[in-house]
Amino acid sequence: MEYLDFRSDTVTKPTGEMRSAMASAAVGDDVYGDDPTVNELQTYAAELTGMDAALYVCSGTMGNLAAVMSHCARGEGALIGVGSHTWKNEAGNVASIAGVMPYPIDDSSGLPTEESIKSSYQPLGNVHYAHTTMMSIENTHNIAGGLPSEAERVASVASLARDMGMKVHIDGARIFDAVAFFGNDVRDYTRHVDSIQICLSKGLGAPMGSVICGGFDFIERARRYRKALGGGQRQSGIAAAAGLIALRDMRSRLVLDHKNAALLASLLQDCGYDVEPAEKRTNMVYFKLCDRYADAGTFAGICRERGLLLGPAGPGRIRMVTHLGVDEASVRKAAEVLKTLGA
């Protein structure tokens, strides 16, 4: 069966141009710094974000972990949103691998509140607590509905954290969805923080990889931690070639994903589904199930039998994500499948 796949923007396939670039990529040993395509990707990412340097890593999870390890010593603390991917979906690696104490902060509105930052921060000097040395924020925020945060709001919370002596990292796996939504520049975000992780394999369509960007010293530390985490690849320019196309050419098409998500939300509402409202919708649609389908996994299984793949997102909650692999016709077909099941 050919499926309509709305589970995530991670399911995209590389474009024909990406495949051609991968087949002809100039390569070398990246651990030695000899892969010209990886070097080109890193240089381009640094210039694009206005950062000193960049590092190509296997995944967003590896990038976020390397960032924590580069900003924090073992036994120190990091403020992390309780709804963020770093808190919920990265296997507890901040504590178990980095040896860093994660302090939970409220990020239900996409970014942490001033109150949560101040109340969770632990200053140096109290021997009972892990001194807080960094804060991680997520933009766009997945669990909050793919919510994009304005550059001004990021600047405000980042300024507070930095004034308190913390480094600030953005999990910007989907940062270009925020850029596309507001029509601004990625530097409007990065100028206020110390590092950022950008995923190449979600809406940008590359088959794998992320880049982390930051200062020279930060990147040199991250390079060592990438190696320690098993991410020192060799002729990785084959994959980086697709990442270059993703960063250079695919950012402009994200507005189409947002348009399709808005259409999907409207169609589902017309079918009677309880769609979670989103004043700032990017490429995600969340909706709640009625008591008839209270188990999201069961509902997803029924949809699969009808050729539609979607993602359970907790008890009675479903997520659908628009991306490179679905068009307007796919959205309308998906809505028809859901209409037959009833809200």
pLDDT in tens, 112-160: 999 999 999 999 988 999 999 999 999 999 999 999 999 999 999 999 9
Residue 1 pLDDT > 90: no
Residue-wise pLDDT tens digits, 159-215: 999 999 999 999 999 999 999 999 999 999 999 999 999 999 999 999 999 999 999
Domains identified in the chain and CATH numbers = 15-249 (3.40.640.10), 253-341 (3.90.1150.10)
- Strands of the 167-171 sheet, one edge to the other: 53-57, 210-214, 195-199, 167-171, 132-138, 77-81, 101-105
Rg of the Cα atoms in the chain:
20
Average pLDDT (43-55) is 98
231-239 average pLDDT score:
97
Q: Is the peptide bond before 133 cis (omega within 30 degrees of 0)?
A: no
pLDDT of 291 reads 76
Condensed to tens digits (0 to 9), the pLDDT of residues 73-100 reads 999 999 999 999 999 999 999 999 999 9
Q: Tens digit of pLDDT for each residue in 285-321?
A: 999 998 777 789 999 999 999 999 999 998 899 999 9
- pLDDT of 332 reads 98
Contact at 8 Å (CB) between 243 and 206? yes
Q: 328-341 vs 296-305: helix axis angle to the nearest 10? A: 110
| Backbone φ/ψ region at 297: left (φ over 0), alpha (ψ -120 to 50), beta | alpha
Provide the pLDDT for residue 343: 65
